[in-house]
């Protein structure tokens, strides 16, 4: 039997896009940090 979903409940599909956007922001921050490190090390050589 299918469970009754209350009007105020949100499923996993509601939160997945928000989690994906936050993950992308964090990944972009670390990628930018790594690129800066590579540029700085190129300058030293």
**Whole-number pLDDT of residue 2:** 63
Share of the chain above pLDDT 90, in %: 53
Instruction: Give the integer Cα–Cα distance in Å for 12 and 18.
Output: 11
For 1-44, give the secondary structure using H, E and C. Answer: CCCCCCCCCCCHHHHHHHHHHHHHHHHHHHHHHHHHHHHHHHHH
Start-to-end CA span in the chain (Å): 67
| pLDDT of residue 26 exceeding 80 | yes
Global confidence as pTM: 0.64
Instruction: Give the integer Cα–Cα distance in Å for 17 and 14.
Output: 7
């Amino acid at each position: 039997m299918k469970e009754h979903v209350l009007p105020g409940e949100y499923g996993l599909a509601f939160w997945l896009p928000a989690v994906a956007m936050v993950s992308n922001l964090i990944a972009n921050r670390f990628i930018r940090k790594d690129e800066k490190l590579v540029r700085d090390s190129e300058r030293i050589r």
